[in-house]
Structure formats: C-alpha cells, structure tokens
Structure 1
Amino acid sequence: MKKASAILAILALSVPAFAQSGNIKIGGTWPLGDITGKQGSMAAQQAVDEINAAGGILGRQLELIVIDDELKADKGAAAIEKLVTVDNVDVLMGGMASGVALGQIPAMKKYGKIVISTGAASYKVEEALGADANWYFHLHPWDYNQGASYAQGWDEIQKKYPAIKIKKLFLAYEEGAFGKSSFDQTKILFGEGGRYVVDGAPFKSAAQGGGDYGSMLETAKAFKPDLFLWAGYDADALPMLEQAKAMKFNPGVYLGAPPGWPIGFQNSKLANNVMLYGMWAPSINDISAASKKFYDGFVAKYKAEPATYFAPLSYSAVYVYADAVKLAGTTETNAVIKALEATKYASPLGQTITFTPAKIIKHQGIKNQKILQWQNGRQEVIWPFESATAKPVYPFPKWK
C-alpha cells in the first residue's frame, strides 16, 4: 500500500509537466483605436501565425486573444481580469499608454502572470511595479532611458554637424502620465549642468478629446527654441503642424515623439523634414535582414506598411516568449522566467534584445531610441551613426 501511494505521489508531481496540452494562450491588451495598438496587435498575430506555420512550440499551437484597452485605465484593468480568469492565458503581453499600465498593475500583481510589456515608458509605472515584480519583462525603454539616449544623440549630432546648434529646448507634452513624465525627464537630462535652457507647456491630446494647441504653440513661439519637441499621440501630429504653420512657428528643429504616426503622414507636404524619436523605421530594412523579414511579412499579410515601431516591438514580444517556452520545455511560470532571463533575440528593431536590471525592476529590455527624420516620404535614421541611413536636413524649412 505504501509503495502504491509513493508511486501515485510521484505521478501527481509529474502531471503538470506532461499534462500541458491545447493551445498556448497569449493575452494581449492594446489600444485598438490608436495606430500603435492596431498595428501592434496585427504584428503580434503575424508572429503567432509564423510560429504556428513552422509547427508551433513544444508541439502546441499559439493562440492570441486581444482586448481593446481603449486608452483607459479601467478598461485595461478589466481586460487583465478577463484574460486571466476567463480566458486562462499563459502570458500577458502588449500595452502602450503609461496611464493604462498604472491601472493594470494591481491585477497583474494579484495573479503574478508573466507580462511582456511593449509600452508604458513612465518611471511612475516602474515605481508602482516595485523591485519584486520578477514576472514583469519590459521591452520598451523607460522615459529616463530615452532621455539619456536623446541627450547623447544631440550632443553627437552637433559635434558631427557643426551647423546644428541647439541651446534652447521647448517640450510640449500631453496632460497624461506619458507626457508629464517625458517633460520631467527632459528637464533633468537636458537641463543638467546648464547645457540647455529647457521650458515647456502642456496640451490636451486629440486622442483624449483635445486638439487646440494654440496656447501652447504661442508660448513655444515666444520662447524661440532651437529645438521644439512634442510628446503626444498620432492624432496630434497633423493638426499641430497645421496650427504651427498658421502662426508661422519655425524652430530650427521641429521634432515629434508620439508612440506612432498616423497612416499616410508621409504623404502630407507638412511632414517633410519633421524629426522624430523612435525604435524602428522601414529604412532599417536596408541594414537588417530581421527587419526586412518582418516588414515583408507584414505587408504580405495585411497589404499595408507598418507605420509604428510598436509593430516590430510587439512582433518581437511574441518571439521572445515563444523562444523562452521552447528553451524551458514548459509554460510553467518560474521555468519560463528563467528562460526569459537568458534571452538573446536578434530583433527586427535592428538590435539584439536581452534583459538586464533597470533602476527598480529586474528585467529591462531595450534602453535606447533612435533620432530619425521624415525625408521625401521616408523615415531616415539620423542617429546613432552606425545605423544612419541619411544626413539631417537642417534647419527645418520656413513655411511658405
């Protein structure tokens, strides 16, 4: 009897490893009404389809379940609850807005599911997560990572191109957590040591029901910046340019930092020579085989061009998780966490993704961004120079 009981106990312990069957479920939350969420979820599905066509992982197919967070914290939190308790997903993925992520964190902590985050740049999100969130893997750079890379980039650009001189910087920022944290980090990183004179003003994003930038632009114009930078969403891109043109606001550098740009932005005459921050552009296809593979697959599947770096970032998130499950030989949380910590994924972003500690969390992926410019309908990489596809056009042409 004792021997039989011992055998049953051993079998019971071994059940989880052998009983895993059915689809491996990925729960994704993105703002589907925004270009970042729409194309991010499309690219994640592209990756799922590619992996399934190649035989899946551990003999199982991947299944992506997507819920629209609508750029609202309560919707995002409800999505986590449903994905975990109703859909029984194995991993959580996606995200864009920091305000939504802040609303999701309590549910994430409650369930302890692995999260591979493609968004949430605000340092406030990292503070809310705390040092014990070993299940959280953050692909997107934090705002302080981004700010440090931008400061380095502009220093190096001015050294290489002496005609570009920047002393005064104005940051227009949307009222939410994303914009405010961007302004806070810009003041710290660019204002440090008096290297740059920094000012700024908030605006209500068109994505949140705003769209009148007049007061902010008047403040910026009076400041006479060498570099004007706005941090908002894709819905702000064209109307802000139109209003800047109407008041003849011509900074030396006009730069936008939305998570994604509206589809067809490059076709507007207003777009030419606008600078931007980002992690990817189709021009990277010229120097990266992984980028070209992703790009060609996206275009073939959707008959449209990826217009935001959230597309290759979300595509990468799926592959990073799939590779970790394959390495772990299971979807069991602790085993996959250990495998994720060994990640070395040659991504379509033009860089290899690994995870190292950030200021608070243990698993930070990408830590820098690129400086790009719209030139003749194409996003060209200006910096870092080893990835550059064009020289900068400076100054930003005066309005006609």
Structure 2
Amino acid sequence: MTAAKASLTEGQSSLNIATMLQYKKLRKGNKMFPRTAAALLSSVLVLAGAHYTQAQEAIVIGMSSPQSGGAAYLGQHQKWGAELAIEELNAGGGVLGRKLELLVQDNQCNPTQGASSAEQLIAVGKVSAIVGALCSSATLSIMPIIEKAGIPLVVEIATSPKITELAGAGGNKWTFRINPSDAELAIGLANYLTQAGHIKKIAFVGEDSDYGRGGHDALVKILSAKGLEIGAGDFFARDTQDFAAVLTRLASEKPDAIALYLNGADELNFLRQYRAAGLDIPLTGRVEFSELQEGIVESGAIDGATSVYPYTDQIKQGKNADFVASFIKRFGEVPNTQSYEAYTATLLVADAISRAGSSEPAKIRDALQASDFKTPLGDTIKFDDHHQAHPSAVILEIEGGKVTVKGLFNT
C-alpha cells in the first residue's frame, strides 16, 4: 500500500467512527435528518479529499538554468543531473512520503533573466527551494530575490567569490554554495603551475562577467604572491564569434600560458580558432574538457593544457563510478561538472527536507545550515559561516589527446 493510500485509509477510519456516532444521534427523532446527514456526509468527503490531496502533493524544487543561449548545453547537463537525482529519490519513495518535482526556468546566463526566473519559480511555481543558477552573474541577481522571499538557494556551479562574500555572515542567510569558488580553485591551480616550474608569464582571456573578472582577480592575487606574472586580461562579451585579433597578438607576445575563463559556445569558438591558428602556447585556467569541445581534446591540438575543476568523471573515489554509469545509461552522455553538481545539490536539498521533517522553506534553510552530507565523490558537505562548503577539486591535464587527472586537493 502506498503512503498516500495508507494516509487516506487511516483518515477515513477516524472519520467513519465519528460519522457513525453522529449519524445515530441525528437519526433519533430528528425531522431534519435527511438534510443534516447529507451536509455531514459532504463535509466528510471534503475532509477525506483534503487529507488525500495533502498526502499526494509533490514537493517542488526549482531550478534556474540556461536552457537557451550560448550556455544551453551546460544548462542541459545541469537539468539532467537534477532530473536523475529526483528520479532516483522518487523510485525510493520520495521524501516524507511525498514525490519530488523539478520545475526549471530559463535564465539564459543573463542577470535580468536570472532575476525573472527566480520570481517565476517563487510566485508561480511555489517552490520549497531553488538550485542554480550555473552562471555567476545570474546567481548574484537571484540572491536578493530569494532573500526577500525567504526561499533557500543552493548554488552548485557558479564560482564567483562574491557569492561567498555575500552569503551567510555576509548578510544573505538564504544562500548556500556547495562548489568551490574561483578564489579556492585558483590556489590549487597556482600550486600546480608553480610546481611545474616552466610557467612564469600568463595571459588571460575571459568573458566580461562576474565569472571572468572574478576569475582574473583571484588568479592575480594568488599567482602574484607566488612570483608568477599575469596580464591585465582580455575580456569578451558573451556570444563573441571572432577571437582572431587576440590570438594574433598572443602569438606575437608568446606568454608561457593562456588562462581561459569562457563558457559554453564562446569557449568552443575560441578553441576552434586557437587550433586553426596553430598556437603552441599551453592553455590553463578553467578549460572545459568535455564532449562540448567536439573532439578538440582527442585531436591533440590542446595537448599540455591544464585546468582546475570541481569534478571529472574519471575520479573513482566514493560512489562516482555508480553515478557515471547511471547517468550514461539514462542520458547517453558522460556527466560533466554541471550534471554532477546539480545531481549533488538536489540530493542535498532532499536530505535537508528529510531532516527538517517539512517542506517549509524556513525549516529547509535551517536544516541546510546544519548539513553533514556525504557526496557521491565521498566529500562531506558542511557549511562555514559564509555558507560555503569546501569539497575537493581536481587538476586536469591533456596528454596524448586524453584527459588525465594530475591530482586532487582540498579547498
């Protein structure tokens, strides 16, 4: 018997006992018995129906995600990760005897659309919590909205250090982040590049956003302290098609490496033109080594490139192998950072709902703050006073057309 049916049966039993007692009292010498009995029966049915509806009502988790625009492929993986988590949870009976439901709103990786997506999820979707929003600028635009509405937000992909600064002790007590910030990732990358010994001068190419500029600021701070030089940076608007000018200049300047902080289609355009230009300057930074790059990794064109990321499907620790197998079986693609982090964030929200014993946002928020949650990678998510978790991250390098793991480090 399902939880919903069990609740209905118990409700009907208690209601039937009370009804029979009243029925006997009403029948004795009551001329208005037929009308009164009908009203009583009607109220009983309404109460039973309300009891059944409450037991059946799904708990809605919202997601703000780029489902269109240059980052749509990443947004698709983000959505898939959350969907897989919810499918697995519902197959196990849901949470608190109720099914979970995912409601996705497109944010186009745009601050204005990000704010609108949050407003829709809250006002129309009546969500209990929100996961998102992949891009840092969109995430930052959502934070004041969820704070005002009193809806918890779990940031799972956006890396701008500003998010950590503003969350928790920074003032916004409704925002939590499970992935490392660019400031933390920069430390791991700087340590690796310093140990490599041959990189001294680094150029920077990034998107003109909180992600790109935040990444540049983090690298400048960390690398400069280690004696490495990093340029002022070339920043590009999203949907930039032509990188020829900057590639030509970099070929002439010959830095030891190029730190890349672009997203989605913009990064793919840069890598295509980088390969066509035949540059032998190694890439570093936050390069996405995934199926998104259309065989560029396998071609050997970016051999020697390094990257710092919160996740790779190659990690064998924890239950990551099980997650990778389930994801490939369900969606036919290898999971990336976006799919893994969204999967983990959704499981974390469900865990908080279970511990809270409620789908009320304020109670979920309190449960999130007290989290002690084991991720599929085996990390434990606990939040500091700025609601920032400190999971491990990974250094990756392309060798012989293949992605290799060079090391894990704690953030």
TM-score by length of 2: 0.78
Match among 92, 95, 119 for residue 133 of structure 2 = 95
What residue in structure 2 maps to residue 146 of structure 1?
A: 185
Structure 1 segment 279-358 matched on structure 2, within 5 A: 279-284=310-315, 287-306=316-335, 308-349=336-377, 351-357=379-385
What residue in structure 2 maps to residue 199 of structure 1?
A: 231
User: Number of residue pairs matched?
Assistant: 352
Q: CA deviation at 1:242?
A: 3.7
Q: Tell me, what secondary structure is at the counterpart of 2:301?
A: helix
Structure 1 segment 252-263 matched on structure 2, within 5 A: 253-258=282-287, 261=290, 262=292
| Residues in 2 aligned to 1:260 and 1:364: alpha-carbon distance in whole angstroms | 25
Q: Tell me, what secondary structure is at the counterpart of 2:334?
A: coil
Unaligned residue ranges in structure 2 (runs of 5+): 1-53
Structure possessing the higher radius of gyration over alpha carbons: 2
What residue in structure 2 maps to residue 364 of structure 1?
A: 388
Q: Is the 8 A contact 1:90 1:113 kept in 2?
A: yes
What residue in structure 1 maps to residue 122 of structure 2?
A: 84
1:72 aligned onto 2:110: yes
Structure 1 segment 1-400 matched on structure 2, within 5 A: 22-33=57-68, 34=71, 35-127=73-165, 129=167, 131-155=170-194, 157-158=195-196, 164-192=197-225, 195-204=227-236, 208-251=238-281, 253-258=282-287, 261=290, 262=292, 264-265=294-295, 266-284=297-315, 287-306=316-335, 308-349=336-377, 351-357=379-385, 362-366=386-390, 369-376=393-400, 378-384=402-408
2:220 corresponds to which letter in structure 1? Answer: K
Q: Is the 8 A contact 1:36 1:259 kept in 2?
A: no
Kindly tell me: are residues 367 and 181 of structure 1, through their superposed partners in 2, closer, same or farther at Cα, counting changes over 3 Å? farther
Q: Is the 8 A contact 1:282 1:379 kept in 2?
A: no
1:381 corresponds to which letter in structure 2? Answer: V
Q: CA deviation at 1:315?
A: 0.3
| Residues in 1 aligned to 2:349 and 2:254: alpha-carbon distance in whole angstroms | 47
Kindly tell me: are residues 234 and 378 of structure 1, through their superposed partners in 2, closer, same or farther at Cα, counting changes over 3 Å? farther
Q: Is the 8 A contact 1:281 1:379 kept in 2?
A: no
Comparing 51-60 and 236-245, the one that deviates more: 236-245
What residue in structure 2 maps to residue 3 of structure 1?
A: none
1:235 corresponds to which letter in structure 2? Answer: A
Q: Tell me, what secondary structure is at the counterpart of 1:32?
A: coil
Q: CA deviation at 1:125?
A: 3.6
Kindly tell me: are residues 339 and 315 of structure 1, through their superposed partners in 2, closer, same or farther at Cα, counting changes over 3 Å? same
Q: Tell me, what secondary structure is at the counterpart of 1:369?
A: strand
Comparing 195-204 and 295-304, the one that deviates more: 195-204
Q: CA deviation at 1:367?
A: 5.5
| Residues in 2 aligned to 1:283 and 1:148: alpha-carbon distance in whole angstroms | 22
What residue in structure 2 maps to residue 16 of structure 1?
A: none
| Residues in 2 aligned to 1:136 and 1:189: alpha-carbon distance in whole angstroms | 26
What residue in structure 2 maps to residue 14 of structure 1?
A: none
| Residues in 1 aligned to 2:178 and 2:258: alpha-carbon distance in whole angstroms | 27
- Cα deviations across residues 277-309 of structure 1 (Å, max 9, x unaligned)? 21211211xx22411111111111112222x21
RMSD: 2.5
Comparing 176-185 and 209-218, the one that deviates more: 209-218
Q: CA deviation at 1:172?
A: 1.3
| Residues in 2 aligned to 1:54 and 1:256: alpha-carbon distance in whole angstroms | 40
Q: Is the 8 A contact 2:381 2:389 kept in 1?
A: yes
Q: Is the 8 A contact 2:166 2:172 kept in 1?
A: no
Q: CA deviation at 1:273?
A: 4.0
| Residues in 1 aligned to 2:185 and 2:233: alpha-carbon distance in whole angstroms | 20
1:149 corresponds to which letter in structure 2? Answer: G
- Cα deviations across residues 325-382 of structure 1 (Å, max 9, x unaligned)? 112212233432332233233323453322123xxxx211235532102345543211
Unaligned residue ranges in structure 1 (runs of 5+): 1-18, 159-163, 387-400
- Cα deviations across residues 155-210 of structure 1 (Å, max 9, x unaligned)? 3x43xxxxx422112221112221111111111111126x11111432425xx221
1:298 corresponds to which letter in structure 2? Answer: F
Q: Tell me, what secondary structure is at the counterpart of 2:314?
A: helix
| Residues in 2 aligned to 1:38 and 1:299: alpha-carbon distance in whole angstroms | 14
Q: Tell me, what secondary structure is at the counterpart of 1:370?
A: strand
1:379 corresponds to which letter in structure 2? Answer: V
Q: Is the 8 A contact 2:151 2:362 kept in 1?
A: no
